[in-house]
């Protein structure tokens, strides 16, 4: 059997594995052993699966492959943020970020290679979408960043945010599978309340999250609370306007009871005025929520600038006067292009970058 005809074993569920073993007259309890090697022990090859018979390991090697990512570059910011570039195949690279504070370690992970949404304030939006990541490739980022946190800070991850490259809800199946694996006993056993999935706003998929009764947190990248402004910076708003998003978020909350986080990148002379704050407060009342105000991080040839600290504080004060829960998020990892909106494989070789950007 050629390598191209092998199947990715990490695409199989535990039930799928059990059915496969029965079809080849192997004992079904082996499925749980394999599953633990794949997800809890993060095995790189079948040879490592030492509690399986040698001939069975050889059979698995002939039939399947394991789709692991490989670290290709690592940068460390002066504030301790770590940006990792992962190779996931010929000329394809994604990035994940470890953001440590005194009490927390947060992994910011990617869900796609590139992005199709073209948000004007985001470097990743300038890349073409090449493909979705598999659930295994998503989980691998968490595993690596967890090990990085343990090694450097003596603690595992406290939070996981799907806020890296790509739109998670356009890779719905694999994103949900990855969260299930991360939270399962056979995986990392992480509480779903420590996981946040961020979306640019795809109304029908937000409703589907509600129908699927997900337990993780949901964040909406809002950035403007009127359609005219949001259309200018986020193409997705043309087909998923604020009225549709409000309806979808209400539906999601009614199904799950989970409070929404609104993310709002504040841009100088664009969405930093008092009227913008009042519009945001009015829109945010559609569901129980909190609002994260995020300072803008510069990207090459970007058309926006960072709003002044005074404007940001005044903006937050207006929201608080409307009884909103507000956090001002200061950027970390900006010096290595690891901050919000900056992930774009900027430091890769020209050959790799050319293939991604063309």
Distance between CA atoms of residues 140 and 131, nearest Å: 17
Q: Given this model, what pLDDT does residue 254 score?
A: 98
- Cβ–Cβ contacts within 10 Å for residue 141, how many? 27
CATH number at residue 220: 3.20.20.70
Residue 85 and residue 204 share a domain: yes
Residue 213 and residue 169 share a domain: yes
Residue 296 and residue 194 share a domain: yes
Residue 74 and residue 38 share a domain: no
Count of structural domains, the chain:
2
Listed residue (125, 127, 70, 67) closest to 96, CA to CA: 70
Measure the CA angle with vertex 227, ends 311 and 203; round to 5°. 115
Residue 249 and residue 149 share a domain: yes
Q: Given this model, what pLDDT does residue 218 score?
A: 98
Q: Given this model, what pLDDT does residue 304 score?
A: 85
Residue 130 and residue 46 share a domain: no
Listed residue (343, 291, 300, 295) closest to 319, CA to CA: 291
Q: Which residues pair with 76 in a beta bridge?
A: 82
Residue 120 and residue 33 share a domain: no
Token pair recorded at residue 172: 């719905």
CA distances for 242 relative to 52, 166, 220, 221, angstroms = 54, 21, 11, 12
- CB-CB contact of 306 with 329 (8 Å): no
Distance between CA atoms of residues 240 and 138, nearest Å: 26
DSSP-derived secondary structure for 40-88: TS--SSGGG-TTS-HHHHHHHHHHEE----EEEEEEE-TTS-EEEEEE-
Helix (H, G, I), strand (E, B) or coil at 259: coil
Listed residue (211, 218, 193) closest to 255, CA to CA: 211
CATH number at residue 23: 1.10.150.530
Residue 154 and residue 75 share a domain: yes
Q: Given this model, what pLDDT does residue 343 score?
A: 45
Domain boundary among 40, 65, 90: 65
Residue 40 and residue 26 share a domain: yes
Residue 109 and residue 52 share a domain: no
Distance between CA atoms of residues 358 and 340, nearest Å: 23
* pLDDT < 50 positions in the chain: 1-2, 333, 336-343, 345-358
Residue 50 and residue 93 share a domain: no
pLDDT digits (tens, 9 = 90+) for 277-293: 999 999 999 999 999 99
Domain boundary among 37, 65, 93: 65
Residue 177 and residue 302 share a domain: yes
- CB-CB contact of 139 with 187 (8 Å): yes
Print the domain residue range for 224: 70-357
pLDDT digits (tens, 9 = 90+) for 176-217: 999 999 998 877 899 999 999 999 999 999 999 999 999 999
Q: φ, ψ for residue 309 (rounded to 5)? A: -60, -40
Positions annotated as catalytic residues are 95, 340
């Amino acid at each position: 059997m050629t390598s191209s005809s092998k199947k990715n074993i990490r695409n199989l569920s535990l039930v799928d594995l059990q059915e496969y073993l029965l079809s080849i007259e192997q004992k079904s309890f082996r499925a749980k052993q394999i599953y633990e090697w794949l997800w809890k022990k993060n095995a790189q090859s079948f040879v490592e699966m030492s509690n399986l018979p040698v001939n069975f390991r050889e059979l698995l090697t002939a039939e399947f492959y394991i789709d692991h990512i490989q670290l290709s570059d690592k940068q460390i910011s002066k504030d301790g943020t770590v940006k990792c570039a992962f190779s996931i195949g010929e000329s394809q690279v994604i990035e994940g970020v470890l953001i440590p504070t005194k009490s927390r370690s947060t992994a910011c992970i990617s869900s796609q290679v590139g992005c199709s949404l073209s948000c004007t304030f985001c470097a990743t939006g300038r890349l073409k979408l090449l493909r979705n990541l598999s659930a295994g490739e998503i989980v691998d980022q968490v595993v690596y960043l967890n090990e990085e946190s343990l090694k450097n800070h003596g603690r595992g991850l406290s939070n996981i945010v799907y806020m890296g490259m790509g739109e998670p809800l356009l890779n719905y199946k694999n994103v949900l599978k990855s969260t299930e694996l991360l939270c399962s006993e056979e995986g990392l056993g992480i509480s779903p309340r420590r996981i946040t999935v961020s979306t640019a706003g795809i109304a029908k998929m937000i409703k589907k999250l509600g129908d699927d009764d997900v337990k993780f947190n949901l964040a909406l990248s809002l950035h403007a609370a009127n359609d005219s402004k949001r259309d200018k910076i986020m193409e997705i708003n043309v087909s998923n306007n604020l009225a549709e998003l409000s309806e979808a978020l209400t539906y999601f909350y009614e199904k799950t009871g989970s409070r929404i986080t609104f993310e709002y990148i504040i841009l100088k002379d664009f969405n930093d005025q008092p009227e913008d704050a009042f519009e945001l407060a009015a829109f945010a009342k559609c569901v129980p929520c909190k609002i994260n105000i995020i300072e803008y991080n510069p990207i090459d040839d970007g058309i926006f600038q960072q709003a002044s600290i005074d404007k940001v504080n005044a903006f937050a004060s207006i929201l608080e006067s409307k009884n909103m829960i507000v956090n001002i998020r200061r950027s970390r990892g900006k010096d290595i292009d690891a901050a919000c909106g900056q992930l774009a494989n900027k430091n890769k070789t020209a050959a790799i970058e050319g293939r991604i950007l063309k």
